[in-house]
Each structure stands twice: as structure tokens, then as C-alpha cells.
Chain A
Amino acid sequence: MRIRSVTGAGINVKCSCGYWRWLPPAAVAAVLIGCASTETARNEPTLRDDFIEYRQIVVQAIGQVDTTMRALEEISAQAHRDPRPAYAAFAKAVHRLEVDSIKVRAHTQAMRARGDAYFDHWEKYLAGVDDEQVRQLAEKHRPDLKQSFQQAQMASQQVREVFRPFLSDLQKVRAVLEADPSLARIDAAKSLILAAQDKGRQVQQGLDRILAEMNSMTAMLRPPGTAPKR
């Protein structure tokens, strides 16, 4: 009620110059009322389970890269027969990789940009999980978890650095063979295909390393007697 009267004094300022003196307190009151609004006060976001999500994204990325690598190999394998279906499958795989790899590339780039702060976030999440056993395990294995994260971060850096040139090579192969995926063209693009395969293997190694570290972190956080999740 008191607040209402103060605000009312602020509204009536144009009626008389004497009321101007009410304007500053009214403004302050209005600002304070705004600050005390329950709408903003209950904005308490929950932390995301970065750890599980990143592992899933890495698993998906491994599948995407494997599919693309197989499709690339198939072009060379089918070169003496009819390589057109193999080329079509390869072009489709490259397109899928261009789109679906966005998540893993965004994660690796963000990990690099945020450095240790990225892991601090994971730690904060683990410190707040409901499962008491997991919280204790996270505390107990803190240095090992940190080390595993650093390894995963290094592998992510490798993936981030090689992924773009790998994709670029794949796009070049697609462009070169697009008009005529014949034996002659495939032979001419041999060095390009080999370069793409080489970079692809580096990406696969990097992703495998990340997954190995994530699995080792999962094992550290698994309460004894519980079955491992896929």
C-alpha cells in the first residue's frame, strides 16, 4: 500500500511543480520494485551434463567419419567397375559429415576457447549431482579426472586442427569427380584421395583418444557394483 502511494506521487508530477521532489524517490522505488520481482529471482538454471553429452557426440562423430572413410575407399575399390553408385554414396556421406559434424567441431572449438574453465564446469556439475557415491568418487579421483580431461582436451585440439583440412580434401574429391566419376578421373585424383584418407585417419585417432579418456573418466565415476552404460 505504501509503495502504491509513493508510485502515485511519481505519476502526478506534471500537476504541480512541488511534486517534482517526489520523482527521485518514486524512481528509486520503481527500480527497487523491479529488482524485487520474483520472476528474475527464480531464474536458477541447472548445469548441463556436459560430460555425457560430449561422449555421445564423440561416439556419433566416430560413426560419421568411419562411414565417410568407407565411402571414400569404395570409390577406389569400384573404379574398375561402375564407380557412379559409390560416388553418389560418397557425396552423400560428405554432405552428412559437413552438417552432422558441427556439434563435435563446436565442442572441440569451445573446449579450446575456454581451456580449463570448460573442465571447471564439468567439475561443478559433478560436485552437484544427486548421487552421493558419484560425488564422492569425483572428489576422490579429482586429479585423475583432471589429467584425463587434459588428455581429452589435447586430442580435441588434434581433431579440431585436422578436421577442417580433412573436410576440405573430401570436398575437393567430390568436386573433381562430380562431373565424371570415371576410372581415369579417379586415377588422376589418387593423391588427393590418399591425402584425405591420411587426414581422416588422424581425425579417427583423435576421436578414439577422446573416447578412451571419456571412458576412463566414466569408469572412475562408476560406483562399484553398477553395470557400465554404453
Chain B
Amino acid sequence: MKSFTKKLALPAALGLVVSLAALYANLVSAQAPWPFAAPTTPMAQRNAMNLVINQANWFRSATRTASSYTGGGYGLLVQQFQAVRDQYAGFRSTLNPQQLNSGANQVAELDSGLDIIQEAFTDYQTAVANGQSNSTAFSNMCQVLNEAMGVWVQEFRQDCRQLQVGW
């Protein structure tokens, strides 16, 4: 009888531990979004906006120096471009509902703008496949990326002013 109780006690205890763990996990996951949701305060918006602009400037700077890197710097540019996208996604999450509503068209255009700039990477690969010299195709891509990001940042700044980001 005693050994039977012992046999039952172990799975029951394990079950209890598992249940408590599941309950705790539920509680934690239920609470998790609150502390991790991006704040929409003016300060948070200003910070996020500056991060996007800084990252875009780093990216533009990388396009000017990429050809001097070993291996051509293509990978570095892809990485830096992705970083701009990530910072921009972070920025978007700091916009308040009013800004998202009033600036829905602008936000959609900024999204599309990044998609279109990204096409320059594909264009470079196509150009090389079409027989253009690697150095010329890469140089073209870098120039397009640099200037296109400049246009995008200009739009981004203008939209931020319009949407009163960080006010």
C-alpha cells in the first residue's frame, strides 16, 4: 500500500509541477505584451526616428565605401539595408493610433519605398547575369542605393514633420 502511494505520489507531484509551470507560463505570457510593447511617447518617437535616420545615413555611407571591402561589400550592404528596415519597423511601432490613422497613406508609401529600393539588389544580380562587368554593376547599384535612400529619408523626415512625430 505504501509503495503504491509512493508510486502515485511521484506522478502527482510531477503533474502538479507541470500544471504550476503551465499556469505560470500563462500568467507570464498574459502579462508579457505590456512591458514589451513599444512606448508611443514623444521621447520614444524622437529616439526611434533618429535611429532610422542614423541607420539610413550609415547605410548611405556604406554604399560609398562598399567597393573597397574584401569580397565587394555586397553582404554588408544587404545587412545594413536590413538594419534600416528593422529600425523603421521599430519606429512604426512607436506611432500612436492617431498618427497611424492620419498617416496611413504615408506609412504605406514609406513601406513601398523600401521594397522598391531593395529591388536594386536584384537589379545588380540581373545586370551581372546579363554580362555587365561586376565592378560597373556594383558601382551602379551603390549609386542607386545611396541616392534612393537619400530620397527615402527626405520623405521620411517630411512625413515625420507632418505626423508631428515626437511633438
On A, residues with C-beta under 8 Å from B are: 37, 39-40, 42-48, 50, 95, 98-100, 102-103, 105-107, 109-110, 113-114, 117-118, 121, 164, 167-168, 171-172, 174-176, 178-179
Contacts and interface: CB of A to CB of B under 8 A. Distances in A.
A176 B130 contact: yes
Contact of A164 (B103, B106, B119): B119
Contact of B162 (A37, A48, A110): A48
Contacts, number: 107
B50 interface: no
B42 A46 contact: no
B41 A40 contact: yes
B140 interface: yes
B4 interface: no
B76 interface: no
A114 B105 contact: yes
A222 to B, nearest CB: 23
Given A102-B116, A113-B112, A164-B119, 11 more contacts: A40-B40, A42-B167, A45-B98, A48-B159, A105-B116, A110-B108, A114-B104, A117-B104, A172-B130, A175-B137, A178-B136
A164 B163 CA distance: 31
Interface string B128-154: 001111001100100110011001100
Interface string B42-85: 10000000000000000000000000000000000000000000
B26 interface: no
B117 interface: yes
The A contact surface, by secondary structure, is helix
B112 A106 contact: yes
B98 A171 contact: no
B163 A102 contact: no
Contact of A99 (B109, B127, B148, B162): B148
A140 B136 CA distance: 56
B96 interface: yes
Interface of B: 40-42, 96, 98-99, 102-106, 108-113, 115-117, 119-120, 123, 126-127, 130-133, 136-137, 140, 143-144, 147-148, 151-152, 155, 159, 162-164, 167
A190 B35 CA distance: 62
Contacts of A99: 144, 147-148, 151
A68 to B, nearest CB: 15
A121 B109 contact: no
20 contacts: A43-B98, A44-B164, A45-B103, A45-B162, A48-B105, A48-B106, A50-B105, A98-B120, A98-B144, A99-B147, A99-B148, A105-B116, A106-B109, A106-B110, A109-B112, A114-B105, A164-B119, A168-B126, A171-B127, A178-B136
A39 B42 contact: yes
Contacts of B115: 109
A105 B112 contact: yes
A46 B102 contact: yes
**Residue in A106, A114, A118, A164 with the greatest tally of chain B CB atoms within 10 Å:** A106
A113 B147 CA distance: 25
Nearest to B143: A95
Contacts of B123: 98, 167-168, 171
A45 B104 contact: no
A43 B101 CA distance: 12
A229 to B, nearest CB: 21
A45 B130 contact: no
Contacts of B163: 45
B167 A110 contact: no
A176 B133 CA distance: 10
